[in-house]
Structure 1
Amino acid sequence: MTTALAVLLVLLALLLPNKLPYITPGVFTRIPVEALFGTALLLVLPPRARRVVAVLAGAGLGVVTVLKFLDMGFFSVLGRPFDLVLDWALLDDAESFLEDAIGPAGAIGAEIGVVVLVLALLVLVVLAVVRVSDLVVRHSAVAAGGTLVLGTVWMALAALGLHTAVGLPIASGSTAGQVQDRVHQVRAGLRDTQEFAEESSADAFRDTPPDRLLTGLRGKDVIFAFVESYGRSAIEDPEMAPEVDAVLADGTRRLRSAGFSSRSAFLTSPTYGGHSWLAHSTFNSGLWISNQQRYRTLTSSDRLTLTSAFRHTGAWRTVGIMPGVTQSWPEGKFYGLDNVYDSRQLGYEGPKFSWTPVPDQFSLAAFERLEHGKPGHRPLMAEVILTSSHNPWAPIPRMIGWDELGDGSVYDSIKEEGKDPTEVWKDDAQVRTEYRRSIEYSLNSLISYVEKYGDENTVLVFLGDHQPVTTVTGGRLGRDVPVSILARDPAVLDRIAGWGWHDGLEPGPDAPVWRMDTFRDRFLTAYGPGGATGSGVTPARASRPGPRPAGPAVPPHGP
């Protein structure tokens, strides 16, 4: 029985795919070429060398198996495999996510459990390979004949190109192929630092004088808002698009009635399913920030970002509304933000909605109270991160009257009305429904905010950071996210007339698609001195229509 279990474990380790959808009974009926090669090698080695090779092969197979499990998680959430060079830094973020989700004690228990399982798997695979090698030696004649027969069958199946129902070849070489891929991946990761240094050294706007930056937006309040997980799937997937498209169509109509025009297109995000900060930094820096190593290198540099360009002019006060930030965030200095309001400084006393510390509507109301609504304020540039559409999409807040928000205590009863995320995630259809509802809520929050508080000086650029996880997308529609620009002053949109973006808040299927890292340069060019016929500059800040509601004093600056 022990020998049979050892053989089974080795075969399972060799045939285990690295994507969850591929795990079907048929995938374990394939013939692994690695087993044939390994058996042949063991048969010709002397006893001492055979034992050493068996131990090393077992350890290697154990490591590859652990990596397959990591790949399953990364493909399920981020749509890509685990990177041996660049992804270790993400373990800190995984630990923080666990603490938020199940508490510090639960996170420590989960971490201990994972370590124990990994060590047990490594030891068991080594022992299994050693036991199988002993079996091969004891029955060398049978093993040699079986290897010859199965090797012939493997070559025939490979020549015929036969596959399983999920598209994997029956003549399997997947484990060896994955090892080869890992070698290439490591080499690419090691080269990435040098390549990124060369890319980031080129900056067309590095030496642009402050008085020649963003001249076409002087006097405007410019808001860059990221909507978490707002991807192309939300507006094109037949299961979700009708409801989301209706929100965008209604928002276009309502804002047009308020005097606003809008244009929309798509940007291709560097990330998928998570790692929002990679998208934020790509959009801001004009560089392709596709991994944590690049992010850390970037935020340690003096690169001119889209947001820091506003501060560099001296014509704007720059602020960040960061409800997802729960501790010190030194990157705020890199982004050129005069002040960052995190989840502790927005005045919110209500409950968390799963991962989301502050509902989107309250975050926008806090921005109005703390900055935008103050009489006689300087022109503002604000980066606003909306988080209510963050995984796991349950429970979800709902829109209430802007004058009902108070300190957020009103959300206690709203959260109780919401759904339990553990129940939602038992059914993929429910997950997609709740994702769609969260996007509707975030979009309605933005549209309603502009409708109520926007004026002739308001310019809003809002976009998604990445597509949601594959549970929602099914791996379809790539990495594109919608992006929209809206303003009441026609001169603002006149400057991007040549972009070919679609009218309204919803980009059509054939709308332009740009890489996200190209936006910074296009934006700075369009709103620079030569960006359009005529200056498009507001010479003096117009007075605001009507008084603003008074709010509490601005809280102390964050760290």
Structure 2
Amino acid sequence: MTPGPRHHARNPRGLPATVLASSLRVLALVLLPLLVLNLLLGFGNHWPTLWPRLEWRFSAELAVLVVALAAWVGWRGRAGRLLAGLSMLGTAWVVLHYINVTVPSIFGRRLNAYWDGQHLWAVLRMSGEGAAGGAYLRLALSLLLAMVAVGLLYAIVRLCLQGLAHAAEHTAPRRTLLGLGALGCALWAAQPWQGEVLRPLIAPPVSSLLAEQSRLLSLALSRSAHGEQLGPSPAFAGDVDALEGSDVLIVFAEAYGAVTLDKPDIAEPLAASRARLAAGIAASGRHVVSARLISPTFGGASWLAHGSLLAGIDTRDPGDYPLLLTTRRPTLVSHFAANGYHTVVWTPGIQRAWPEGAFYGFHRIADADRIGYLGPHFGFWRIPDQASMALIHHQEFGKRFPAREGPQQAGAGNAQDGAKGGAEDAADDAAVIAGEAAVRIRLATYHPDRARPSDADAASMAAAMAASVDASPASLAERIEAARASRERRPRLVVFPTVTTHAPFRAIAPFTDDWSRLLGHDAYSADELAAAEGVPVRWSDPTPAYLAAMRYQFDWLADYLGQHAPADLFTIIVGDHQPIGSVTGPGQPWDVPIHIVSHDRSLLARFEAAGFVPGLVPPDTPLGPMHDVTPLLIEAFRRGS
């Protein structure tokens, strides 16, 4: 007679041997899927690269998933269609965890998906055009590999969850899963009482990231919330007579952060360049005072710093900036314009329409296509900072550089070249006049009592004025001379956000002591361009390129301020933000240096009284947030302050 189930051999505990073997096998299968899933949800970032790093932390969210899956299978007997949904959710969770640990490491700040997502394509273009040839092909291959990786990740997650679901069909493994999951949930809940011990053991939860992004999205879409957050503007009142009609240059030095002073591996390689800048300032008879400010941004979003300083508004919340642009609040730009200054923003980094610029009320907006740069393009940012400064000096300060004698400049060909250059200057002046006509119509209506013309009306008026410029050579010549005379009579406020020190910090044009060369087509030779673009972009190790870009920035500033700048030029050099986190390292403050350079000691003394110190090395303690310096500038520029 065939024996029934009760006649199977039993172990000492009374369980059938086949049942025990099956249970041990299922328990073994439970541990491997849990380990794999926990690794996928607990890894960290291998700074300063994009690669993950193995970290032994447990995921509280995995514990919740295990409890839910085990309870569901215990109730329904099998996972069924739930398995596919959980696999897709688990894959998305792993990808979000990667973003959650990588973005703060690389960029030095938390993700803001609503605002950062709007610039994703620009970042991809910058990554492609800032590298050597074939970069777009490599970018396409990287995206393809990313899709393959996500597909492989889905397969791994589904296999692990399938193993857990199968194990949960048996009583003992299901109880084990419920116990392990409950223990993980309890440890996560105990953090408020044992945070110092438990927090390093728990992976950062993705749910917190999603909750934070939901909050930020709600704020971004809620104008009423922003209206409550946007603080009062400074009192833009009084004169700027303490400047005595000096031209004012505000240089927003891209990615010039306090890391250049605080981190020895960055500060020491830049010490010689900083010393040359100090020597150049001193040799010109100027003096410099410095301080630290807290930037409203880190690693990017430079416009938040620009708006903070120029408008005197706290823009740490990115949503406050677009709201600010919808207002008619006064700015340093409108303040200078009201006091007789011709205001200019020199933005070689703007390569598209910039309607936001209308808020500031600049008389002239000189973007990448309107500054008159004729030389070759260097990488994504196209126009080297030294060339931009040369064009400002020539077009806005009305100065000319002494030509350097060289093989191409000697001989009888100079007269012909000079005639050609004169024709090009005339054409450039004509373009400036026509452009400024449109700019004035569109932008000089910052006063709250004036109605801003529509786009169609502005375009029609600009076309009519441009046509009048081209009416006749005589009329054109008269307008050029009138415009030049007008520019000479009115002092300048020039705001210049630099670009060469922007990530990925390549390609870097060579510094040249022949500034006059930078105004023409032969600004740089083909060999110089090839050498600059031949240096590869390395996002995983950008520090050497950052150091090279910062040396370049110190060098052209030192030479310009030491040799060429107008004697009475009042210069403000302020970092817009720290460089990206892959340069700074984790946990760096948001501090940036600010330097004020002038020949007027009495004017600089006003800033020293507010906490600035002589020299290029500011105190370790920041004065405060960037927008706090705006009322200080207003007060310092007022006569009799």
Instruction: Determine if contact 2:295/2:577 at 8 Å carries over to the other structure.
Output: yes
Are residues 322 and 48 of structure 1, via their aligned partners in 2, closer, same or farther at CA, if it must alter by over 3 Å?
A: farther
For the residue of structure 1 that corresponds to 2:617, the secondary structure is coil
Out of 377-386 and 122-131, give the one that drifted further.
Answer: 122-131
Residue 356 of structure 2: aligned partner: 331
Q: Does 1:266 align with 2:309?
A: no
Matched with 1:551 is none
Counterpart in 1 of 2:371?
346
For residues 185 and 253 of structure 1, the distance between their equivalents in structure 2, rounded to whole angstroms, comes to 48
Q: Distance in 2 between matches of 1:441 and 1:20?
A: 26
Which of 175, 196, 201 is residue 144 of structure 1 equivalent to? 175
Structure 2 residue aligned with 1:413: 527
- Deviates further, 478-487 or 365-374: 365-374
Deviation at 1:189, TM superposition (A): 4.7
1:253-295 superposed Cα distances (whole Å, 9 cap, x missing partner): 3322322111101111121122222221222222222354332
- What SS does structure 1 have at the residue aligned with 2:116? coil
Q: Which AA in structure 2 matches 1:381? A: L
Secondary structure of 2:343's aligned partner = strand
- Pair 1:32–1:484, CA change in 2 (3 A): closer
Q: Secondary structure at the match of 1:404?
A: helix
Q: How far is 1:54 from its partner?
A: 4.6
Map 1:449-528 to 2 at 5 A. Answer: 449-475=560-586, 477-509=588-620, 512-528=622-638
* Offset at residue 223 of structure 1 (A): 0.6
SS of the aligned residue for 1:321 comes to strand
Aligned partner of 2:498 in structure 1 is: 386
* Closer/same/farther in 2, CA of residues 483 and 104 from structure 1, 3 Å limit: same
Counterpart residue type for residue 131 of structure 1: Q
Q: CA deviation at 1:372?
A: 0.6
What percent of counterpart residues are identical?
24
Deviations 1:350-382 (A, max 9, x none): 333333311111111101111112573410000
Partner secondary structure for residue 351 of structure 2: coil
Change (3 A) 1:106 1:307: farther
Cα gap change, 1:328/1:19 in structure 2, threshold over 3 Å: closer, same or farther? same
AA in 2 matched with 1:351: P
Q: What's the CA shift for 1:425?
A: 5.0
1:93 is matched with which residue? Answer: 122
What does residue 422 of structure 1 align with? 536
In structure 1, how many angstroms separate the alpha carbons of the residues matched to 2:250 and 2:209? 39
- One of 67, 71, 77 as aligned partner of 2:106: 77
**1:536 corresponds to:** none
CA contact (8 A) 2:507 2:535 kept: yes
The 3-state SS of whatever aligns with 1:87 is helix
> Residue in 1 aligned with 2:280?
254
Which SS does the other structure have where 2:353 is aligned? coil
In 1, Cα distance between equivalents of 2:324 and 2:60: 44
**How many angstroms apart in 2 are the aligned matches of 1:390 and 1:136?**
53
CA contact (8 A) 1:273 1:468 kept: yes
Matched, 1:113 2:144: yes
Q: Compute the TM-score of the two structures, normalised by the length of structure 2.
A: 0.70
From 228, 233, 236, the counterpart of 2:262: 236
SS at match of 2:594: strand
How far apart in 2 are the matches of 1:19 and 1:299?
A: 39
The alpha-carbon deviation at position 501 of structure 1 amounts to 0.6
Aligned pairs for 1:194-213 (under 5 A) are 194-200=224-230, 202-205=232-235, 208=237, 212-213=238-239
Tell whether the 8 Å contact from 2:508 to 2:549 is kept in structure 1 after alignment: yes
Counterpart AA for 2:628: T
Comparing 370-379 with 482-491, which one deviates more in the overlay?
A: 370-379
- Equivalent position amino acid for 1:417 in 2: A
Provide the secondary structure at the position in 2 that maps to 1:513: coil
Amino acid of the residue matched to residue 302 of structure 1?
R
2:67 pairs with one of 28, 32, 40: 40
Deviations 1:300-321 (A, max 9, x none): 322222223212x150111121
Q: Distance in 2 between matches of 1:35 and 1:496?
A: 55
Shift of 1:502: 1.0
Distance 1:178 1:366, change over 3 A: same
Q: Distance in 2 between matches of 1:118 and 1:295?
A: 37
Q: CA RMSD in A?
A: 3.7
Aligned partner of 2:475 in structure 1 is: none
Matches within 5 A, 1:6-45: 10-17=37-44, 23-25=52-54, 27=55, 29-45=56-72
Instruction: Tell me what 1:315 maps to.
Output: 340
Task: Select which of 373, 379, 396 maps to 1:371.
Answer: 396
Question: How far is 1:63 from its partner?
Answer: 3.0
Within 1, Cα distance between the matches of 2:519 and 2:52?
50
Residues 43 and 425 of structure 1: is their aligned pair in 2 closer, same or farther, counting only changes over 3 Å? closer
Q: Tell me the alpha carbon deviations over residues 537-556 of structure 1, each in whole angstroms, 9 at most, x when there is no partner.
A: xxxxxxxxxxxxxxxxxxxx
Are the structure 2 counterparts of residues 436 and 42 from structure 1 closer, same or farther at C-alpha, using a change threshold of 3 Å?
Answer: closer
**Tell me, what secondary structure is at the counterpart of 1:278?**
helix
C-alpha distance in structure 1 between counterparts of 2:207 and 2:246, whole Å? 54
Corresponding residue for residue 304 of structure 1 = 330
Assess if the C-alpha contact under 8 Å between 1:388 and 1:396 holds in 2.
yes
Equivalent residue for 1:444? Answer: 555
Equivalent of residue 94 in structure 2, options 65, 70, 73: 65
Cα distance in 2 for residues equivalent to 1:106 and 1:501 = 49
Contact residue 394 and residue 420 of structure 1 kept, 8 A: no
After superposition, the C-alpha distances for 1:387-440 in whole angstroms (9 at most, x for unaligned) are 1112222342232122333425342322333474536556x3xx3233122112
Contact 1:78 1:271 in 2 (8 A): no
Is the Cα–Cα contact under 8 Å of residues 219 and 319 in structure 2 kept in the other structure? Answer: no
Provide the rounded CA distance (Å) in 1 between the counterparts of 2:352 and 2:396: 21
Query: When the two structures are aligned, how many residues end up with a matched partner?
Result: 513
Distance 1:346 1:163, change over 3 A: same
Q: CA deviation at 1:190?
A: 2.2
Q: Where do 1:211-222 residues align within 5 Å?
A: 212-222=238-248
Relative to structure 1, the CA distance from residue 19 to residue 218 in structure 2 (aligned partners, 3 Å threshold; closer, same or farther) is farther
Q: Structure 2: how far apart are the matches of 1:337 and 1:104?
A: 37
Letter in 1 for 2:207: V
Could you tell me which amino acid in structure 2 is paired with residue 436 of structure 1? L
Question: Conserved in 1, the CA contact under 8 Å of 2:374 and 2:519?
Answer: no
Q: Does the 8 A contact of 2:578 with 2:591 survive in 1?
A: yes
User: Which residue is 1:358 aligned to?
Assistant: 383
The answer on whether the counterparts of 2:67 and 2:178 sit within 8 Å (CA) in structure 1 is yes
CA contact (8 A) 2:311 2:330 kept: yes
Gap regions ≥5 residues in structure 1 = 533-559
SS in 2 for 1:461: strand
Superposed, 1:160-175 pairs within 5 Å as: 169-170=200-201, 172=202, 174=203
2: CA distance between counterparts of 1:522 and 1:57? 57
User: For structure 2, which runs of at least 5 residues remain unmatched after alignment?
Assistant: 1-28, 400-484
Contact 2:292 2:591 (C-alpha < 8 Å) held by counterparts: yes
